[in-house]
Amino acid sequence: MWQENVEIVRKVHAAVNARDVEELVRCCDPEMAYQPGLEGAMEGRGTVFHGHEGIRHWWQQMDEAWADWSTEIGEIRDLGDTLIVDCVVRLRARAGMAFEASFVQVMTIRDGLLVRSDDYLDRAAGLKAIGPPD
């Protein structure tokens, strides 16, 4: 199960990097929830995109705001159906300014699909969100 979940994480990031929103949607459960960290840092936590249409809406917002964006996966830690994924995002604004940030994703996968993903720009906040280890 662990390796299959890691493969889903890699497919999600590959879809983002390939700018393939439909491949990203295929990796997601129809009822999935995504809470991005960058928007949360700018607007306050609480922006959650739901389902396939939510993912497409998030994608459209990203595409309007950024000329280019990509992610790089670092360490992936297994907590059963939940994975902690260390990442770096690289963004380039339409005006040309570049931006890079580290973040942590808390991703939940069930039946081969991403059902929840929460991004945290602060590693400690991401680890706190999942609660103490069993």
List pLDDT tens digits, range 105-119.
999 999 999 999 999
Question: Tokens representing 99?
Answer: 């931006």
Most confident of 80-84, 104-108, 126-130: 104-108
Query: Is residue 93 predicted with pLDDT exceeding 60?
Result: yes
Judge whether 57 lies within some domain. yes
Global pTM? 0.87
The single residue listed with the structure tokens 């917002």 is 61
Judge whether 134 lies within some domain. no
Question: Tokens representing 65?
Answer: 């705001």
What pLDDT is attached to residue 114? 97
CATH code, 94: 3.10.450.50
Q: From 76, 80, 81, 131, select the one nearest 105 (Cα to Cα).
A: 76
- DSSP state letter for 33: E
**Which residues neighbour 103 within 8 Å (Cβ) at sequence distance 6 or greater?**
37, 38, 87, 88, 89, 119, 120, 121
Number of independent structural domains in the chain: 1
Instruction: State how beta strands 98-110 and 66-79 pair.
Output: unpaired
Reported as a single tens digit per residue, the pLDDT across 13-61 is 999 999 999 999 999 999 999 999 865 545 555 689 999 999 999 999 9
Judge whether 58 lies within some domain. yes
Reported as a single tens digit per residue, the pLDDT across 53-81 is 999 999 999 998 899 999 999 999 988 88
Judge whether 133 lies within some domain. no
Give the structural domain span for 69.
Answer: 2-127
Question: Tokens representing 38?
Answer: 């960058």
Give backbone dihedrals phi and psi of 110, rounded to 5 degrees, phi first. Answer: -135, 140
For 45, the 3-state DSSP assignment is: coil
Q: Residue type for 133, please?
A: P
What pLDDT is attached to residue 80? 82
Judge whether 132 lies within some domain. no
